[in-house]
């Protein structure tokens, strides 16, 4: 039994989640389902223009996994555009990014949900009301590579 895939970290939820060709009745259209993490991969790579390594770090996945997600998304978009299908963005295996902050005065740490961050980052510590706060960046994904030989020679 394969292990379940890790959730992908998504920092943006699109407001518009359905696209269709103009002038074609909805009842006559086939749909392509684009997952939220596939939309995030397109946003990071093609809209923001980031390198794949940086995109993978932001989504907390390996670079090969990011490449697979991106290729799947691009294939679905090409199918929809070339074959005149509607695109629905929904579902997937993701979790919203949460931002963490630390108060420089008392060391208090707290998380701020993505939905709250849309309005803007916090301006003061919720414990002591100090404006002296700093963001805590999530740990970066590190890729551990195997050596050539299994066992004693190459190791991790």
What are the boundaries of each domain within the chain?
Answer: 8-96, 99-136
pLDDT at 143 over 70: no
Per-chain mean pLDDT for the chain: 84
70 contacts: CB under 8 Å, gap ≥ 6: 38, 41, 42, 45, 52, 55
Adjacent-strand bridge partners of 82:
none
Mean pLDDT computed over 61-88? 97
pLDDT at 21 over 80: yes
Task: Name the pLDDT band for 98 (thresholds 50, 70, 90).
Answer: low
Enumerate the H helices of 3-153 as residue ranges: 36-42, 52-59, 63-83, 114-117
pLDDT at 130 over 90: yes
pLDDT at 138: 56
Fold of 8-96: Arc Repressor Mutant, subunit A (1.10.10)
Mean pLDDT computed over 40-47? 96
| Burial degree of 3 (CB within 10 A; 0-12, 13-18, 19+) | exposed
Task: Name the pLDDT band for 145 (thresholds 50, 70, 90).
Answer: very low
pLDDT at 105 over 80: yes
Pairing of strands 109-112, 94-96: unpaired
């Amino acid at each position: 039994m394969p292990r379940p895939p890790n959730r992908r970290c998504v920092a943006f939820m699109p407001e518009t989640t359905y696209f269709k060709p103009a002038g074609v009745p909805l009842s006559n259209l086939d749909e392509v389902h684009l997952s939220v993490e596939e939309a995030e991969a397109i946003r990071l790579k093609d809209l923001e223009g980031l390198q794949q390594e940086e995109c993978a770090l932001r989504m907390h996945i390996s670079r090969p996994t990011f490449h697979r997600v991106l290729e799947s998304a691009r294939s679905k978009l090409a199918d929809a555009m070339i074959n005149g299908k509607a695109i629905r963005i929904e579902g997937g295996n993701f979790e919203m990014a949460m931002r963490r902050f630390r108060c420089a005065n008392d060391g208090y740490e707290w998380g701020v949900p993505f939905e709250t961050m849309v309005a803007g980052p916090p301006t003061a510590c919720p414990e002591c009301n100090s404006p002296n706060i700093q963001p805590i960046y999530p740990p970066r994904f590190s890729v551990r590579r195997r050596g050539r030989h299994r066992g004693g020679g190459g190791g991790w």
